[in-house]
Amino acid sequence: MSDSNRYSKVTPVSWELLQRDARQLAWDLLKKGTWKGIYAVTRGGLVPAAILAREMEIHQIETICVSSYNWKNQGEMNVLKKPEGDGEGWLIIDDLVDTGGTARVVRDMLPKAYFATLYAKPEGRPLVDTFIREYSQDTWILFPWDSEGQFVEPLVKRVNDTK
């Protein structure tokens, strides 16, 4: 089964939901103490990291550049930019932990950092320290930066068109 066929469901995440979940994550992380800074896992972690940085008043933001997805197909893991240090006192922020491939690579680079994501799936969940929502492994999460709003025919018209 190709990677793109392993998703039987699609769940769109709106900008409003993403911001609400990121603010909840910030609230949860503030209860755990103070942080030296944030490592945003690019590209998906950039937007959540920006929201967390604002809400937590963190000004030190770095990136870890890892690429593995081409739309729904997960391929070879490419580390494009590595962090310095072991991550002690730092947050790692990503949008999602799916199969855990990216998370394993990032954890190996920053073993002492605290890893937080907005969303988690069962295969990757053990690799992060905290997350806000869990989705099934067969759900493709459609982030707002990967979509645009458009008109959709009412269901009744779509059903009648197939008869």
Which active-site residues does the annotation give? Answer: 94-95, 98
77-82: Cβ within 8 A, 24+ apart? 77/101, 77/102, 77/105, 79/105, 79/109, 80/42, 81/42, 82/109
- Residue 133's Cβ-count burial label (10 Å; 0-12, 13-18, 19+) is middle
